[in-house]
């Protein structure tokens, strides 16, 4: 969890609009940084900083949609809010599908813009918390040994100890021992809780290979 103030990153090739938008958002109480092109933004931004991106959809070389997909691939995928002189339908559809926070005309009223920025910042905060929780969960799961993770995989699928012992070719008593270690390490009282936590952490989505074969 970062303590830095969220920053609104404005990316636009039109210097005049860049200055005006920056002024308005600063006056509205936001911390603002301006970039005259998408590539400048990607190169110069504070990679961990919270905030959001307000970008012109139509820019030379790397346009808004390009920026959106490039940003999505980074560790800090800030929410992106598109502004456009005159948006066309195919572009807006692509933008929204790409997870854009909003799609506004450049001449949209101040309130709409400020609300959208606020929403984007809130979302960023949410996403950031979520990402922090995940990281903490993952740290707990990281404490499990290879064998324990293997056993966990079978447990969350509701298999019995005996079945797990057969599958892994170990004693049922050994399986019980592993289960106790898992629940202790993760601090969960029940199997139901264990299953929810495992899915939350996305352990097996991230590493499908750990699923037992032949199921």
Partner 1 sequence: MAPDALSETKVFVHVSGDCRRCNRLEAAVLPICAEQEFLAELKREGYTCDMLILSNRIQRLTFFGVFCVAWFNAYAGRPVEALSAPKKTVLVLYGDPLSAPADRMTEQGLTVALSSAHGWNLEVFSEYLDLMRFPAAQYGDDIVRFLRARHETRKPDVLITLANTTLQFVLDHRDDLFPGVPIVFANVDHREVEGKEMPPNITGLWMAWDYQRTLELALQLQSKTREVVCVSGTGVEEQAWNKEARKVLERFASQVRTRWLDKLPLQAVLDEVAELPPDSVVLYIPMQRDGAGQSVSPFEVARQLAEASRVPVYGLSLPQLQQGIIGGALLDFSEIGHKTAALAFRVLAGERPPTLSPPDPSTNPLLINWRALKKWHVSESRIPAEATVLYRDPSLWEKHPRLILATAAVVGLQSVLIVGLILQRSRRKRAEESLRDSEDRMSLAAEAANLGMWVWDVVKDEIWMTDKGRALFGIAPDTRLDYAALVARVHPEDRAARDAAIRRALETHGEYAMEHRVVLSDGQVRWIAGRGRADFGDGKPLRMRGVSRDCTAQKQADQETLLLRQEIAHVGRVSMMGQLASALAHEINQPLGAILRNTEAAELFTENESPDLDEIRAILADIRKDDQRAGSVIDRMRALLKRHDLETRPLDLGELVGDVASLARADAAARQVKLDVDVPGGLPLVRGDRVHLQQVLLNLILNGMDALNEVSRQERHVSVTARLDGAQTVEIAVSDTGHGIPADKLAHVFDPFFTTKPNGIGMGLPISRTIIEAHGGRLWAENNNGGGAAFRFTLPIAEEAAAG
User: What is the DSSP secondary structure assignment for residue 3, as one 8-state letter?
Assistant: -
Identified binder of partner 1 from the candidate list 8, 11, 55, 59, rule CB under 8 A: 59
Site string for partner 1, 93-132 (x = CB under 8 A): ------------xxx--x----------------------
Contact present, 142 and 129 (Cβ < 8 Å): no
Closer to partner 1 by CB, 37 or 183: give it: 37
Contact present, 95 and 103 (Cβ < 8 Å): yes
CB of 139 to partner 1, least distance (A): 42
Would you give the end-to-end CA distance of the chain in angstroms?
39
Q: Kindly report the CA angle at 29 between 26 and 34, in degrees rounded to 5?
A: 30
CB of 39 to partner 1, least distance (A): 13
Percentages helix, strand, coil for the chain, rounded to the nearest 5? Answer: 55, 10, 30
User: Is 16 among the residues that bind partner 1 (CB under 8 A)?
Assistant: yes
Q: How far apart are the C-alpha atoms of 113 and 106, rounded to whole Å?
A: 9
User: Is 54 among the residues that bind partner 1 (CB under 8 A)?
Assistant: no
CB of 154 to partner 1, least distance (A): 49
Q: Using CB under 8 A, list all residues that contact partner 1.
A: 13-14, 16-17, 19-21, 23-24, 26-28, 58-61, 63, 83-86, 88, 105-107, 110
């Amino acid at each position: 969890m970062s303590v830095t103030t969220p920053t609104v990153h404005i990316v636009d090739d039109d210097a005049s609009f860049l200055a005006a938008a920056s002024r308005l958002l600063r006056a509205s109480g936001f911390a603002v940084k301006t970039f005259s092109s998408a590539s400048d933004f990607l190169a110069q931004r504070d990679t961990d900083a919270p905030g959001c991106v307000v970008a012109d959809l139509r820019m030379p070389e790397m346009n808004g949609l390009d920026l959106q997909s490039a940003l999505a691939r980074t560790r800090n995928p800030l929410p992106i809010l598109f502004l456009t002189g005159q948006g066309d339908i195919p572009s807006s559809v692509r933008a929204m599908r790409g997870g854009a926070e909003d799609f506004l005309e450049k001449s949209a009223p101040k309130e709409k813009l400020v609300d959208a920025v606020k929403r984007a910042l809130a979302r960023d905060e949410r996403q950031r918390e979520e990402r922090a929780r995940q990281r903490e969960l993952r740290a707990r799961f990281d404490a499990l040994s290879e064998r324990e993770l293997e056993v966990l995989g079978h447990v969350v699928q509701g298999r019995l100890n005996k079945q797990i012992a057969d599958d892994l070719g170990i004693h049922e008593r050994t399986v019980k021992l592993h289960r106790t270690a898992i629940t202790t390490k993760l601090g969960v009282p029940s199997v139901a809780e264990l299953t929810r936590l495992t899915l939350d952490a996305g352990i097996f989505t991230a590493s499908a290979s750990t699923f037992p074969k032949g199921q």
